Chains A and B, each alone.
Chain A
Amino acid sequence: MTHQYPALTAEQKKELSDIALRIVAPGKGILAADESVGHMAKRLNQIGVENTEENRRLYRQILFSADSRVKKCIGGVIFFHETMYQKADDGTPFVQMIKDKGIVVGIKVDKGVVPLAGTDGETTTQGLDGLSERCAQYKKDGADFAKWRCVLKISDNTPSALAIMENANVLARYASICQQNGIVPIVEPEILPDGDHDLKRCQYVTEKVLAAVYKALSDHHVYLEGTLLKPNMVTPGHACATKYSSEEIAMATVTALRRTVPPAVPGVTFLSGGQSEEEASINLNAINTCPLVRPWALTFSYGRALQASALSAWRGQRDNATAATEEFVKRAEVNGLAALGQYEGSGDDSGAAGQSLYVANHAY
């Protein structure tokens, strides 16, 4: 292993690095609009809309017809396969609409979770077969980055060493293949918020998982400057009795990242998990005002947390399209501010009152 067999040329590295930096440019984050058909069913069900291809097209059109205001707060959009090849009412391909706004197009490339036999209900993620050919095609069709989601959960016995190692390895293989095809891999090792564990437990597990992920990326010769990380924020479990402030969440999250994510990684784009739109923005803002040195961009890659209001405003009615788009733009702008640490909140006690709650980081 002492000899290098360079995986990428200097030009390939530069291209990947440039793409990554464009996505996480200051004040910008990602719209995760890559819900699978099944996932979209749940969303549309909640607003009483039938899950047809046309309705999914109409809904994404609402998001993608946002005006130029989104240029300064959205750096990338993640697509689902079907959506990559859909068009607006006037025949403009969605990919085109996004690129015309100067936003980078991304594609979900994993093929969902599969069980790990012999574990307590743990999974790995499939999708490596033929991934290289798929990436090459997506690149031709306009995609410059990809996303692959692995899932881990916290319980008494999990995540196990196998689950951590296997998911880290599969993420590294995916990342390596993407880069070979000019695609920036977003590496997503999501640790679910389900459970009654406290903040410290989530932090501990997140540190172990991320350390394994970055060791695997190193082992697989992945070019870190041409990747992005999409982790969970460090939060207590949903059923945890103790409540924590956004500053505590911020300190725990930034501390965990500082201990595991090499500074060469250009950006960390948090998933919103089960957080509400406002919660996700407030927490992101607290992360960006945290008094620890943060050598990577800390921004968003939100699905629900960017779309919930837009979905309820739309309810499947064409007449509501403009109002729905407006809701999306509003959330996008709020998160753009949060990514700069400039979001004051929707009125409650954030801001100055929040500052005093930053407990010194040696408690983490």
Chain B
Amino acid sequence: MTHQFPALSPEQKKALSDIAQRIVASGKGILAADESVGTMGNRLQRINVENTEENRRAFREILFSSDASINQSIGGVILFHETLYQKDSSGKPFPTLIKEKGIVVGIKLDKGTAPLAGTNGETTIQGLDGLAERCAQYKKDGVDFGKWRAVLKITSTTPSELAIQENANTLARYASICQQHGLVPIVEPEILPDGDHDLQRCQYVTEKVLAAVYKALNDHHVYLEGTLLKPNMVTAGHSCPKKYTPQDVAVATVTTLLRTVPAAVPGICFLSGGQSEEEASVNLNAMNQSPLPKPWKLTFSYGRALQASALAAWVGKSENKKAAQEAFRKRAQINSLACRGQYVTSGKTDTAAMQSLFTASYTY
């Protein structure tokens, strides 16, 4: 292992690094619009809209035909395969519509979970077969980054060593293949918020998982400057009786990242998990206001947390298009402020509350 067989030329590295920097440029984050057909079905059902290809197309058109100024808040959009090949009402392909605004187009590349036999209901992710060819085709079709979601959960027996190591390994294989084809891989090791565990437990597990992920990326010769990370924030489980403030979440999350994510990684784009739109923005803002050092951008890659209001405003009616777009624009702008630590929530001045919690950071 002592000889390097360079995986990428300097030109390839520069191209990947430039793409990554564009996606997480100051004040920008990612719109995760890559819900699969099934997941989109859940979203549409909530607003009593039928899950047809046309309805899925119509809703995505609302998002992607937002005014060009949305590019101040959105650096990248993740698409599902179907959506990449859909067009707006004037016949313009969605990737073109998005790229015209200077926003980078991404694609969901994984093919869902598969069970790990012998574990307590744990999974790995499939999608490596033929991945190189798929990446090459997507690159031709206008895509510059990929996304792959691995899933882990916290219980008294999980995540197991096998689940951590297997998911880290598949993430690293996916990342390596992406880079060979000029796609920046977003690495997503999601630890679900399900459960009654407290904040410390989530922090501990997240640290172990991320350490394994970065060791795997190193083993697989992945060029970190040409990747992005999409982790969960460090939070208590959904049914944890103890409540924590956004500052608690911020300090626990940033501390975890400082212990595991090399500074070479240009950006960390949090998933919103089960958080409400406002919660996801307030937590992101608290992180960016934290006095802890942050050598990477801390931004968003939100699905529900960017689209919930827009969906509710639309309810499937084309006359609601403007209202839906406005709802989306508002959330995008709020998250843009949050990733610069400039989001002032209505009402409370919580600077005093924040101060007293930061001295305790070494307890994390």
- List the interface of chain A (C-beta within 8 A of B): 1-4, 10, 13-14, 17, 154-161, 200-201, 204-205, 207-208, 211-212, 214-215, 218-219, 224-225, 255, 258-264, 293-295, 360-363
Contacts and interface: CB of A to CB of B under 8 A. Distances in A.
B353 interface: no
Contacts of B2: 154-159, 201, 204-205
A361 B263 contact: no
A49 B211 CA distance: 50
Interface string B266-290: 0000000000000000000000000
A222 to B, nearest CB: 10
Contacts of B17: 362
B225 interface: yes
Contacts of A2: 154-159, 201, 204-205
Given A14-B362, A259-B218, A260-B218, A295 B204 contact: no
A204 B362 CA distance: 33
11 contacts: A1-B161, A2-B159, A3-B156, A10-B360, A155-B2, A200-B4, A201-B2, A204-B3, A218-B208, A263-B261, A295-B263
B218 to A, nearest CB: 4
Contacts of A215: 211-212, 215
Interface string B2-37: 111000001001100100000000000000000000
Interface residues of B, number: 43
Given A2-B156, A362-B13, A363-B10, A260 B262 contact: yes
A78 to B, nearest CB: 25
B1 to A, nearest CB: 6
Contacts of B155: 2
Contacts of B264: 255, 258-259
Contacts of B64: none
9 closest Cβ pairs, A-B complex: A218-B211, A211-B218, A204-B4, A362-B13, A4-B204, A264-B258, A10-B363, A258-B264, A295-B295
Contacts of A13: 362-363
B109 interface: no
B262 A259 contact: yes
Contacts of A363: 10, 13
Interface string B41-60: 00000000000000000000
B214 interface: yes
B260 interface: yes
B3 A261 contact: no
Contacts of A159: 1-2
Interface in B187-239: 200-201, 204-205, 207-208, 211-212, 214-215, 218-219, 224-225
Q: Chain B interface secondary structure, helix, strand, loop or mixed? A: helix
Contacts of B205: 2
A258 to B, nearest CB: 4
Nearest to B4: A204
Nearest to A255: B264
B259 interface: yes
A23 to B, nearest CB: 17
A43 to B, nearest CB: 31
B224 A259 contact: yes
B255 interface: yes
Nearest to A219: B211
A205 B13 CA distance: 19
Which residue, A1, A157, A159, A208, has most C-beta atoms of chain B within 10 A? A1
Contacts of B130: none
B118 interface: no
Nearest to B266: A293
B293 A295 contact: yes
A263 B214 CA distance: 14
A259 B215 CA distance: 11
Nearest to B14: A362
Nearest to B360: A10
Interface string B141-184: 00000000000001111111100000000000000000000000
Given A262-B258, A295-B293, A214 B211 contact: yes
Interface string B86-130: 000000000000000000000000000000000000000000000
Contacts of B161: 1
B262 A218 contact: no
Contact of A211 (B13, B158, B160, B214): B214
B13 A263 contact: no
A224 B259 contact: yes
A260 B222 CA distance: 12
A361 to B, nearest CB: 7
Contacts of B258: 262-264
Given A218-B211, A258-B263, A264-B258, A362 B225 contact: yes
B320 to A, nearest CB: 45
A212 B293 CA distance: 24
Given A4-B200, A211-B215, A263-B261, 11 more contacts: A1-B161, A2-B154, A3-B156, A13-B362, A14-B362, A158-B2, A204-B3, A208-B1, A263-B293, A293-B263, A294-B263
A160 B2 CA distance: 7
Contacts of B218: 207-208, 211, 259-260
A13 B4 CA distance: 38
Contacts of A214: 211, 215
Nearest to A261: B262
B10 to A, nearest CB: 5
A111 to B, nearest CB: 27
A4 B201 contact: yes
B362 A262 contact: no
Contacts of A224: 259
Given A154-B2, A158-B2, A260-B218, A293 B295 contact: yes
Contacts of B3: 201, 204
A358 B13 CA distance: 17
A205 B1 CA distance: 8
Contact of A262 (B200, B201, B219, B260): B260
Contacts of A204: 2-4
Contacts of B1: 159-161, 208
A3 B201 CA distance: 7
Nearest to A262: B259
